[in-house]
Amino acid sequence: MTWHLRHALITGISGQDGALLAAQLLARGVGVTGTHRPARTLDDWRLRELGIADHPQLRYSALDPTDAGACAALLGQLQPDALFHLAGQSRVAESFSAPQASIAANGGSTLNLLEALRLHAPRTRMVLASSAEIFGAPAQSPQDESTPLAARSPYGVSKLLAHSAIGAWRASYGVHASSAILFNHESPLRDAAFVTRKITLAVARIARGLDHEVVLGNLDARRDFGYAPDCMAALQAMVGREHGDDYVLATGRAASIREFATAAFAAVGIELDWHGSGADEVALQRDGGRVRVRVDAALLRPFDAPLLVGDAAKARRELGFAPSLDLAALARTMVEADLARLAPDRAPCG
Q: What is the 3-state secondary structure (H, E, C) of 186-198?
A: ECCCCCCCCHHHH
CA 122 to chain centre: 27
C-alpha–C-alpha distance, residues 196 and 190, integer Å: 8
Edge-to-edge strand ranges of the sheet holding 82-85: 58-62, 31-36, 7-11, 82-85, 125-131, 177-182, 246-249
- Active-site annotation, residues: 133, 155
How many whole angstroms separate alpha carbon 37 and alpha carbon 40? 6
DSSP assignment of 104-154: IIIIIHHHHHHHHHHHH-TT-EEEEEEEGGGG-S-SSSSB-TTSPP---SH
Rounded (10°) angle between helices 109-120 and 68-78:
40
Angle of helix 195-207 versus helix 327-341 axis, rounded to 10? 60
Q: How far is CA 208 from CA 78, 173, 201, 291, 342, in A?
A: 47, 56, 11, 16, 8
